[in-house]
Every structure is written in structure tokens, then in C-alpha cells.
Amino acid sequence: MEAIVQFFRDYPLLWTLVKAVVLANFTLAIPLAVIYIERKVAGFIQSRLGPVHVGPQGTFQTVADALKLLLKEDIVPAGADKRFFYIAPYIAFVSVVLSFMVLPFAPGWVALEMNVAVLFVIGVSLFNVVSILMAGWSSNNKYSLLGGLRAVAQLLSYEVPMVLSVLVVVVYTGSMSLTGIIEYQVQHGWNIMHPPVMIAAIIYFVCALAEINRTPFDLPEAESELVSGFNTEYSGMRFALFFAAEFANNFFITAFAAALFFGGWDGPILPPIVWTFVKVFVMIFVFMWVRWTPPRLRIDQILRFAWQFLVPVSLANLLFAVALGVR
Amino acid sequence: MEILSQGMVINVGPQHPSTHGVLRLILTLDGEQIVACEPVIGYLHRGLEKMMERRPYRHNIPFTDRLDYLAALSNNLAICQCIERLGGVEVPERAQYIRVLLMELQRIASHLVFLGTFGTDLGATTMFLYAFREREMVLDLLEECTGARLTYNWVRVGGVPDDLPEGFGEKVLDFVKVFRQRMDEYDRLLTRNRIFRSRTQGIGVLPKEMALAYGCSGPMARASGIAYDIRKVAPYEVYDRVEFDVPVLEDGDVWARYLVRMEEMRQSLRIIEQVLRDMPDGAVQTKLPKVFKPPAGIAYSRVESPRGELSFMMVSDGSSNPVRVHIRAPSFVNLSVLPRLLEGAKVADLVAILGSIDVVLGEIDR
Amino acid sequence: MNEAIQELLGRFGEAVQEWTQVTPNEVRFTVSSVVWREVAQYLRDAPLWQMDYPADLTVWDTGNEFWLYLRLWSSVYNHNVILFTAISREEPRIASLATLYPGVDWHEREMYDMYGVIFEGHPNLKRILLPDDWEGFPFRKDYVAVPSGDPLRGPQPVD
């Protein structure tokens, strides 16, 4: 064991490569689990069973689906802008991998320790927006274009309140590093205990739903209106990458929320890595619960809600947090 | 200074996840606003009216199942009533009660499809599964009685083919009890949901005068303030002997149409209970001669189908085949008001408005 | 109802070729095709009639001529009127009621589509159910069609 650790200390680049490979695979593998849970939860809410045949309790269903998508024919629509069409799914995927780089899964288990991790995450999440716009535009399809434009409007509008609520946590803990924030919570109790942070958490929750295009904010991929929105023309592995990116982002956004508000890997008895996963999956369950219940909002209602309600409230909340006493 | 922009022409359908059947809409958009809409129909045209001219009167009843296939029994009833009026045929009382019972069960089944698809269009996919879970119960009942789940063909000229099966009444009453509770569930899921309301209130308003001038009927008309329900205005079968209310709302928007249909389902339950209580014994069909030649003349029948006023008109010249059968389908007329409803609406509202009209292409195209 | 009928007969006189009162609130009139539109307008506007709801409009072919059938209902009085008129098969033209009752717009288009009846004054008289390039008028009694061998075109009329 010591020899291996010494080996990597001698070759830091190799260690970085190992971390990158592990993270990329994790980002590919975690959607398999999240999608399975989604289908099961959706099934139970709708008084049906969800996947049951493939594997014990249907657990291999998503693996089978992923294999199916790998084997599909690669269709590129005629007239599509090939450069952007090819690259869009990869950009979406890479943006999620980049965000996972700075996430601490357990004390010391973080791929890249950054003292501006929060800023980094917010910056990288905008790659997602770019990829959606690329996909919508390059598909040479009016529906995709409409979907892409709507998605961009929605994502950009909800970035603002999201950043403002994350700022509240930064104000409280005085640090932008995720590890620093979690350590602060280990010493001083979870951030969510403070009222302004509670409000910030609720706002963050709503913005997270909008950022990952979930009902009630899923107009960009509204099935019954735009067929599939910006990923209508994508098939096979490209579509799988978009899907994987979306569900990995699901995981990441809840993990980010766990780190910011609920103490990350902090918790009694169980090992820290288990606590991270527990918190993440509880929040994902709530997301799914919300997804399958109400109808979706119209784009102008979505934007109005963001700008006329969330932004003023989150600004006021930030002032409230600052007034209550900055460290 | 005006910004000149060219309208984008977008084509919705005939294959599209949200068009209810093979309907094609050619929309001219200006950003998110709809400037013009032209519905293109005829993808399901089979020439039923012409085919009916070549067959004896009673052989045309199975065709009618394929008109409004979500409420097949109403079509059967309409054509049989028309033939009965042409030929002066009486229907025994028990048969009339059975017909009303089946019509109301059919109304519930059809409105459940509306509920499910409407929820899905707006994004509440869960509603679809709940609605179809209840519809399965209705379809099981109807299958036990008629032998079919969709194309029943179970109304005959002069009554119904056979009596109700043993124990049917108790099963229907069990269903009624369960369904009343489930309707409260739907209320909690959709009616009291703020997002649902904001998507449907004030959208697609159909003013009363426009509804009258266009000949809109059924829930579309009743949501716009027109108290026109054929079961009350020109009662047929035993509707004048049962007590029920007809919901009429003033707003004329998508929300009002949804509420009207929900309330109609509740009223149907009331009618079913009364019918089961009062049903007399007796014959279920008047026997007709093998070769049925009604006297020359013109007759029409009107039925309140779940979509509106379904009317058959027949012309007879004394021979065994009709000279003309004309089907006045409620969805055909209700759809013609769609371009006016969409003027100035947003693309995202198109799905809600089209879903609230509740069209079935089978009867539009015939 | 009786008073209203008398008023109509007084107004149109000879143009009403025959009439019957089928039930206390349903009356059928056969009118000459020249006054088709005037009678419909009168029925809509006259205070005793107020037929504001166009229920149905259709055409049928007796072999000798085309007959039109228009059914109206009044939401004020709850009475029904059916209007009949006959037009020639060789030159089937009649005034359009689409601007009076928007509800008959699509019915008239369908009758043009199936019988070839030209409704003069209709804002948009083109085929509605059949493809735009269909030849012939299928519901006519003398329409003969044979299979054309093309699965997309279906049977085509034989001239």
C-alpha cells in the first residue's frame, strides 16, 4: 500500500490521470443507478411496478438500455451543422465531469482541491447551456431550435437566483472552497440551521429543478409539445450522452446542495461516504416526487417566476444574511 | 420603428405526441405567438357515409363504432334512434333503461380518456395512469355486458341485443362507490394544483356568441354559458325520468371545460344509481321483420355524446338501403372554431387548448 | 310557434313551396333555392325565430337533383327548423351561408368536396377531407371508381 502511494507521489501526472478516469467512469455509471431509481419511483407513484424483468428487481434494465443505445445506427440529419452536432453531447458530458472534480465525497476524497470551488462550479455549469444551444441550433429542425432557445432562456434566468443563494452560504462560512464549507459545518452545525440559509436552500432547490430541466420546468424537453426539444434529432450514443449528462448533473446538483446546506459527508456512526450518498439520494427522491406530480409551467410563466419573484427574494435574503452578522 | 420579422411556418402532426388522432395543424408563428392556424383533416376519411348507402339499414350499425371510437355506444344509439324514427319502431322500457345505463358508463370512460390525455399534454403524466386505471374498471364492466372493449356494437334497432348479465347491477354499484373516492383524488392532484390552474385559467376563451354561431356543443358550449344539453333540452330514452344537473359555467376557458367534464362524470354516477334502482323488467328488443323497409321520408336523431351533439340524418325512399346517411359529428364542428381560439395564443397553449376541445378524428373524418 | 310560422309565410309567400309542423317545436320548410340565404338570414334575425345555432347542413343526391338540408336551433325558444331546397345536378350552385353562420363553413366545404356543390360567397371553398388533388365528387350517385393500382391514390373515378 505504501509503495503504491509513494509511486503516485513520484508521478503526480499519472495520479491526475487516474483521478480523471475514475471520475469520468463515475459520471457514466451514476446515471445508470439514478435512472433505475427514477423509473422505479415513477412506477410506484403511478401505481405500477416499473422495471422488473431484467436482473433482480429489474436492476440491470438501464444497463440493457445503455447497451441498446450503443448498438443503434448513428443518424445525423441532412443539413445539420456537423461540427456542433457532433460536439454538443460531449460538451454537456464534460461539463458535468468537471463539476465532479471539486466535489468532496469524504474527508480528503476530492479530486481537485480548489479554494474557489464554488465559483468554479458555477462557471462550469454554464457549459451545459452552451451545449443545449449548440444541439438545438445544429439539428436543422424548428422544434429543436425552439427547445434550445427556451432552454437557454430558462437556464440563464435561473442561474441568477441560484448564485445569489449560494452566495448566502459563502457569506456565512467565509470560504468558497467546498472542503472549507463542509469543515465549517462540522464545527458549527449544518448551515441549514440559520434562517437565511434555509430560505436560500429553498430557492436553490427550485433553481436546481430548473437547471436540470425537471418538471415543472421541463419545457425544453416537453414531450407532448416539442417531441423531445433540443435532443429530438439525437439517437444512439449521442442521445445516451445527453441523458447521462442530465442525470449525472442531477446527482451533482444534489451533492452540491448537500455540501452547501446539509454538511456534505458529515454525520454520526456511518462512514462519511455513505452519508454523502444518503443525503444525495434523499434529495433525488424528493426531486422525482416533484417531477411526477404537477403539470409543467409555460415558458413565460417560468421566466416571470424567476425574474419577478426569485431574484428579488434572493437579493433580499442575501441582504438579510449579511445584516445578521458576517464572519 | 417596427422590427420586421417573417412568420415561421411550423407543422404540427399528423404524427405528434400531442395531437389527438391524425390531425395536422399548419401554424404560422411569430416568436412564441400563433398568428394563424389551419387545420388539415381527412387523414382518417373512409367514406363511411357512402358505404352506408349500399347496405341495409341495420348492417350499418357496426360502422358507427368506428366513428367516435372512444364513445362507441353513443354512436350506436344515435344511428339506431334515427332508424327507429324513420320506421316508427317502439323501444321497450327496459331496453331504454339499459341504453341509458350504458351511455352513462360510456360517458365516464370517454371523459377519463380526456382527463388522462389532458394531464399528459400539460406534463402531469401521472394523471394518465390514474385515469386509465379507473377506465379499466369501466371497460371490464362493459366487456362483461357487451363482449367488447372498444367497438361494442351493442345497440339494435328496437332495443339492445340481450339482457344485462347476472349480478351486473351490483358490480356497477361497487364501481360507483370506488369511483366517487377516486374523483376526490383527481381533485387533489389536478384541480387544486396552482400550476394546473395557471396553465388553464384564462386560456383559449370561447365567447358565448362565437360558440353559438359556430355550432359548438357539449362541454365546449356548456363551459361558455350555453345551457345546451340534449338530455335536458330534447330528452330521449328515459332521461326525462332521472334527476341530474347539467354543469354550465360562464368563463369559456380551458379551465371551465375541464371542470364541466369533471362534474359531468359525477352526475353520470347519479344517473347510473337511479337507473339501476328504477329499471323495470320486460323485453329488451322489439322484433323487426327480416327485411326492414322503412317508409319513404327523412328523419334525424340527436344524442348527447361525451363530445357534444351527435346527430344522424337519414333519407329513405322505401327500399331496404338508405338513400343518404349523414353524420353530424360534434368534434367536426368543435374543431372548426380552433383557428379563432388560437389567434394570439402562445405555442405552449396550443396543446392545452387542443386537448380541451377533446376531438376524436374518427368522427371528424368519417 | 304558429305566429312565427305565419309571419314567415307572409314574408316569403310563394318561395316557400311546402311546410309541415312535425312536432310542437319542430317545423320543416321546403323553399326555392333563390331565397335560401334570405330565409336563413330571416330565421336568424327575426325576433320570433332567433335561430342562432346552426346544427347541420348537408346535401343528398336523388338521382334527378341535389337536395340541401339545413337544420337550425334556437337557444332562446328551443325550437328547431329544417330547411330543404333543391338544386340542379348539372349546375349545382347556391348561396353560401358561411358568413351568416360560421358553423356551416366546414359543412359547406365538405359538401363541395363530396358533391361538387359550389357555394357562392364562401370564403375558402376548397376540399376538406379528400386530398387537394382528388378528381371527381365521390358521393354522387353516378360516381364510378375503379382500383388504380396505386396504394396511395386508392380507387380513381372513371369518366
From chain A, pick out residues whose CB is under 8 angstroms from the CB of B130: 46-47
Contact between residue C157 and residue C135 where contact means Cβ atoms under 8 Å apart:
yes
Residues in chain A: 327
- Is 1.10.1040.10 the CATH classification of the domain at B45-365? no
Please state whether at least 3 CB pairs lie below 8 Å between chains C and A: no
Q: Is A327 exposed, middle or buried (0-12, 13-18, 19+ CB in 10 A)?
A: exposed
Q: Where are the domains of chain C?
A: 2-157
Q: Which long-range contacts (CB under 8 A, 24 or more apart) does B5-10 make?
A: B5/B30, B5/B31, B7/B35, B7/B36, B8/A142, B10/A142, B10/A143
Contact between residue B35 and residue B7 where contact means Cβ atoms under 8 Å apart:
yes
Cα distance between residue A106 and residue A103, in whole Å: 9
Identify from B18, B25, B122 which residue to disrupt to test chain A contact, counting A C-beta atoms within 10 A and taking the largest count: B122
* Mean pLDDT per 10-residue interval, chain A, length 327 residues: 74 82 87 87 84 81 86 80 85 89 81 84 87 83 76 86 88 83 81 81 88 73 58 78 86 88 80 85 87 80 87 89 72
β-sheet bridge partners, residue C95? C120
Residue B125 pLDDT grade (very low, low, confident, very high; cuts 50, 70, 90): confident
CB contact under 8 A, B328 and C55: yes
CATH superfamily of C2-157: NADH:ubiquinone oxidoreductase Nqo5 subunit (3.30.460.80)
* Cell numbers found for residue A290: 416533484
pLDDT in tens, B238-280: 898 888 899 999 888 999 999 999 999 999 999 999 999 988 8
Q: What is the distance in angstroms between the Cα of A249 and the nearest Cα belonging to chain B?
A: 22
Closest in C54, C75, C101 to B228, CB measured: C75
pLDDT in tens, B45-75: 888 998 999 899 889 999 998 888 899 999 9
B333: nearest CA in chain C?
C103
Instruction: Output DSSP code: residue B329.
Output: -
B26 near C CB under 8 A? no
A291, part of any domain: yes
CB contact under 8 A, C61 and B324: yes
3-state secondary structure of B310: strand
Cα separations (Å) of B226 from A23, A160, A297, B209, C39? Answer: 64, 48, 31, 9, 25
| Cα B246 versus chain centre, distance | 15
* Cell numbers found for residue B53: 348507402
* Cell numbers found for residue B289: 321483420
pLDDT at residue C13 tops 50: yes
Among residues of chain B, what percentage have pLDDT more than 70? 97
Cα distance between residue A22 and residue A155, in whole Å: 29
Cα separations (Å) of B126 from A261, A302, B115, B197? Answer: 31, 21, 11, 17
Q: What is residue C6's predicted lDDT score, i.e. its pLDDT?
A: 81
Closest in B121, B123, B349 to A215, CB measured: B123
CA angle B57, B63, B67 (to 5 degrees): 130
A171, part of any domain: yes
Q: What is the distance in angstroms between the Cα of B44 and the nearest Cα belonging to chain C?
A: 9
Show the DSSP H helices in chain C as ranges: 2-12, 36-45, 105-115
**All residues at 6 or more sequence positions from B171 whose CB lies less than 8 Å from its CB, including other chains:** B141, B144
Buried b / exposed e over A227-246, threshold 16 CB at 10 Å, is bbbbbbbbbebbbbbbbbbb
Q: What is the 3-state secondary structure (H, E, C) of A38-77?
A: HHHHHHHHCCCCCCCCCCHHHCCHHHHHHHHHHCCCCCCC
Q: Where are the domains of chain B?
A: 45-365
CB contact under 8 A, C52 and B213: yes
Q: What is the distance in angstroms between the Cα of B268 and the nearest Cα belonging to chain A?
A: 26
Q: What is the distance in angstroms between the Cα of B178 and the nearest Cα belonging to chain A?
A: 16
What's the number of CA atoms in the CB half-sphere (13 Å) around residue B275? 29
Q: What is residue B5's predicted lDDT score, i.e. its pLDDT?
A: 62
Q: What is residue B81's predicted lDDT score, i.e. its pLDDT?
A: 92
Radius of gyration of chain B (CA): 21
Q: What is residue A325's predicted lDDT score, i.e. its pLDDT?
A: 67
Cα distance between residue A227 and residue A143, in whole Å: 8
Contact between residue C69 and residue C82 where contact means Cβ atoms under 8 Å apart:
yes
CB contact under 8 A, C52 and B41: no
β-sheet bridge partners, residue C27? C21, C81
Cα separations (Å) of B220 from B242, B257, B337, C80? Answer: 24, 6, 10, 21
Buried b / exposed e over A113-127, threshold 16 CB at 10 Å, is ebeebbbbbbebbeb
Q: What is the distance in angstroms between the Cα of B278 and the nearest Cα belonging to chain C?
A: 29
Q: Is C112 exposed, middle or buried (0-12, 13-18, 19+ CB in 10 A)?
A: buried
pLDDT in tens, B134-156: 999 999 999 999 988 988 889 98
Q: What is residue A219's predicted lDDT score, i.e. its pLDDT?
A: 67
Termini Cα distance of chain B: 50
Among residues of chain A, what percentage have pLDDT more than 90? 1
Cα distance between residue A40 and residue B7, in whole Å: 44
Residues in chain C: 159
Query: What's the number of domains chain A is made of?
Result: 1
Radius of gyration of chain A (CA): 20
Q: What is residue B179's predicted lDDT score, i.e. its pLDDT?
A: 92
Residue B107 pLDDT grade (very low, low, confident, very high; cuts 50, 70, 90): very high
Q: For the beta carbon of residue B6, count every other beta carbon within 10 angstroms.
A: 7
Listed residue (A44, A111, A135, A108) closest to A252, CA to CA: A111
* Cell numbers found for residue B160: 339492445
B196: nearest CA in chain A?
A295
From chain B, pick out residues whose CB is under 8 angstroms from the CB of C101: 213, 215
pLDDT in tens, A43-55: 888 888 888 888 7
pTM of the model: 0.86
pLDDT in tens, C122-158: 888 888 888 888 878 888 888 887 777 776 666 777 7
Listed residue (A263, A288, A257) closest to A275, CA to CA: A263
Q: What is residue A327's predicted lDDT score, i.e. its pLDDT?
A: 47
C104 near B CB under 8 A? yes
Write out the residue range of the structural domain in which residue A262 sits: 69-323
Q: Before B14, cis peptide (omega within 30)?
A: yes
**All residues at 6 or more sequence positions from B106 whose CB lies less than 8 Å from its CB, including other chains:** B71, B72, B73, B74, B142, B306
Q: Before C131, cis peptide (omega within 30)?
A: no
From chain C, pick out residues whose CB is under 8 angstroms from the CB of B212: 52-53, 75
Overall average pLDDT of the B336-347 stretch:
86
CB contact under 8 A, A297 and B196: no
C138 near B CB under 8 A? yes
Overall average pLDDT of the C73-95 stretch:
88
Radius of gyration of chain C (CA): 18
